[in-house]
Chain A
């Protein structure tokens, strides 16, 4: 196992892990270990573990649903000699919490506006750098071995669906979106007892893949990554919640200029093409609010990671 994905697009050569050199790792580790032991033994001050700012990678905390496309974008960024990136993927709510508590993150990419708003409200983000990146679409998925088509999402209330995997509806963006949609069509209270809240959109995908859930709500881009799930219903964009991936530089960033440069790249044409190839709906600069519903399918060649 060397590379975690099989990208159809030509991947740039060279190691993907920014820290993968063993000798560097070892020496860093020894410094850290000795420092820690000293600190523990005699209350001394361990030497600073981090190299002075300037050469390290830009640390990007990003929503789990962006993993494949951001790793691709990071590789292009690095291959063009613009700088190195290190990605920390997780559900946006945890990522926001970490940033608010001062985790050394340079750029935050949230899958919804609520978590970005929370980070902004806590004074953790450089608000003027905030940018809407892309949109997405909700789909209802079922295990591929029992495919079916739903004529409406209301059919989820039927007895055939006993467990429905959804991101935690109060916090995980995909779950918040799903709850908002089900509420808007008036079936949330009927579905609530059947909802299995999970920690991220990928966990919802996994629950349906393994048959633990009879259905799940994920983004279109995630459904396209798995051959073991089938799309049963696409939530029409006009009826669904407004989905926004938003990004901003953190206030705590030690390298705000480099972070801004990466953010500009994320919002730029090269990244835009990669987002589109993965099935994300890109926004025009004038903030087109209605992506064309479901007409653009992700290309097979852009499927990565599975």
Chain B
């Protein structure tokens, strides 16, 4: 059971990170390099899940994909069920890790001098080419650090997950929700083992992030 829960959590967190990474990094680059109307608004919205109570984020997601919302009904009409499935787990994880990916990657981009990008532009490179061949390679520590932090956040995600995915054993029960259930139902030993697993994963991930950051 430990392995099942750990594997489920880690794999879901990986999927969530991979989904968040492309749009997150692109957004980070745009925020680091461009000025546009409503920029502060975008920054604020992206960072909201970082500071809002995760359960509140979960309730919002529940409303968004629930059967009473237009989005939920549209998804249902094409046969996609989200609530209480692993899609819900991934969705909760992705939303909660997006701010960390964007903020960390953005700091990475901002540390890179704009000179190289300017020079590339004068030599005729378009924005896409500049991003892929200049900005991204130079900012990789920030991007990778953001990915690791986002992954760690996803592994630990609880509040939003329990609202949209429940905690079905073997199906949507992650490390965090399992620790919650086990603690609440007095299964202290199981909770302790999973706690140790959580701490280990978080420690390793943060250690890697710190190494990259150097």
Chain A interface residues toward B at CB < 8 A: 1-2, 4-5, 16-20, 22, 25, 28-29, 32-33, 36-37, 40, 45-46, 48-50, 59, 61, 64, 67-68, 86-90, 94, 97-98, 100-105, 200, 202-203, 205-206, 225-226, 252, 305-306
Complex CA–CA separation, A211 to B184 (angstroms)? 15
Complex CA–CA separation, A6 to B168 (angstroms)? 21
44-70 of chain B: CB within 8 A of chain A: 59, 62-63, 66-68
Contact yes or no, B62 A49, CB < 8 A: no
Per CB-CB distance, the 3 closest pairs between chain A and chain B, nearest first, are: A102-B67, A101-B66, A19-B170
Contact yes or no, A87 B184, CB < 8 A: no
Contact yes or no, A29 B66, CB < 8 A: no
Give how many A-B residue pairs fall within 8 Å (CB-CB): 143
Contact yes or no, B167 A90, CB < 8 A: yes
Of B15, B19, B78, B184, which one neighbours A202 at CB under 8 angstroms?
Answer: B184
Residue in B8, B76, B171, B182 with the greatest tally of chain A CB atoms within 10 Å:
B171
Q: Interface on chain B toward A: helix, strand, loop, or mixed SS?
A: helix
Chain B interface residues toward A at CB < 8 A: 1-2, 4, 7-8, 11, 15, 18-19, 22, 59, 62-63, 66-68, 72, 76, 78-81, 83-87, 90, 162-163, 166-171, 181-190, 193
**Smallest CB-CB separation from A60: which chain B residue?**
B168
**Smallest CB-CB separation from A64: which chain B residue?**
B184
Contact yes or no, B190 A20, CB < 8 A: no
Contact yes or no, A203 B19, CB < 8 A: no
CB distance from A47 to the nearest CB of B (A): 9
Complex CA–CA separation, A20 to B169 (angstroms)? 8
Contact yes or no, A20 B4, CB < 8 A: yes
Contact yes or no, B2 A1, CB < 8 A: yes
Complex CA–CA separation, A46 to B188 (angstroms)? 39
Residue in A45, A48, A86 with the greatest tally of chain B CB atoms within 10 Å:
A86
Contact yes or no, A33 B169, CB < 8 A: no
Contact yes or no, B86 A97, CB < 8 A: no
